[in-house]
Structure 1
Amino acid sequence: MFLYLLVSAAYHSSRWLPRTQRLKFQIVNVVFILVVLIPQIYIMARPKSSRYCKQPLLINLCVSVALSFIASGFSLLFTLLDPVPQSLWASFHLFGLLSCGLGLSTSILTLTAAECVKSTPELYHMSAALTVASAVSAGVLLLRGGLWLSNRRPAAQTG
């Protein structure tokens, strides 16, 4: 859910700016993409990360990196296009389901990989950080969805 929330935040943040100012926002967008991608790629490239771990944390991190690249594409497209086509929105929400699945699998793998903290410490800690980010993002999205639903509910009839 973390990547889905980041793309959604990039979209909504860019809409506060006039169209002529959005190119400046792209620089900020690229910085955020690098902040998300560089630590994951660094941990993945570390020799200690390829050591044996009972849980497939390295494979999970590879999937996270792949989805991070897809998220970066979505964030760039959403901040450049106005209006955003419905087909792109549909594929973005499908990406949200994949991101949710990644968050759930990361959480489950991290919670069951306590012995991996000794063999692959960086990989385990990255997985733990992604688990926390996914949990916080899921909470934020649930809160935002609840607020959205409460605003869409028609007012009660009096009388």
Structure 2
Amino acid sequence: MLHYCIAHLAYHFSRQLPKRSRAKLPKSSRYCGQPLLINLTSFIIFTFIMTGFTVVLTLMDPVSHEVKVTFHMYGVGSFAQGIITTAFTVTVPQCANTTPELYYLSLVLSVLSVLATVFIVFLIPFWLAEVLYPGMVLNGRSQSGVCHKPVASYPYLWHV
């Protein structure tokens, strides 16, 4: 309903503007060299998929192996999406003049993608240690492991 309401309000508020003021710039002056809009569209698709995974991962207990594998494949795709977004954004700083909203949104998404990648890269050694030496990082039964103290009140906060 939120999306419907926003579109409904935008429609009615846009009708308050005179027709000649709705789109002042000619189309040719609003051009960006990279496909930032297409990239943003794919980012939105990834957001919808992320919403589905969020619902599934929070409701399933235990999470099946197939869902875990699919989720990690989605993670690889999300990583690739972040790299593409960052590459497109870095190569076209002139889009800040022609399509500033699109460029700055891409810039924000690039920064967030880089921060998320840094966070996941930080977690990879813990995941590998847990796979190679089960219970070394966090053992819930014996309440021991390298990460037991920091996550004692939030078990398996870092792991899917």
Distance of 1:150 and 1:132 partners within structure 2: 29
1:148 corresponds to: 127
Distance of 2:59 and 2:130 partners within structure 1: 28
Distance of 2:70 and 2:130 partners within structure 1: 25
Distance of 1:153 and 1:144 partners within structure 2: 14
The answer on 1:117 being equivalent to 2:101 is no
Q: Cα offset for 1:146?
A: 1.7
Higher relative contact order (Cα pairs below 8 Å, separated by 6+ residues): 1
The normalised TM-score by structure 1 is 0.63
Match of 1:138 among 117, 121, 125: 117
The answer on 1:56 being equivalent to 2:35 is yes
- Seq. identity, %: 36
Distance of 2:85 and 2:45 partners within structure 1: 14
Larger-Rg structure: 2
1:117-153 alpha-carbon deviations (Å, 9 max, x no partner): 0011011011011111011111100111122334555
Q: Which has the higher helix share?
A: 1
Match of 2:50 among 62, 65, 71: 71
Question: What one-letter code is carried by the residue in structure 1 that aligns with 2:66?
Answer: S
Question: What one-letter code is carried by the residue in structure 2 that aligns with 1:145?
Answer: I
The normalised TM-score by structure 2 is 0.63
- Tell which deviates more after alignment, 142-151 or 100-109: 142-151
1:96 corresponds to: 75
Backbone CA RMSD of aligned residues: 2.4
The answer on 1:126 being equivalent to 2:105 is yes
Distance of 2:112 and 2:51 partners within structure 1: 17
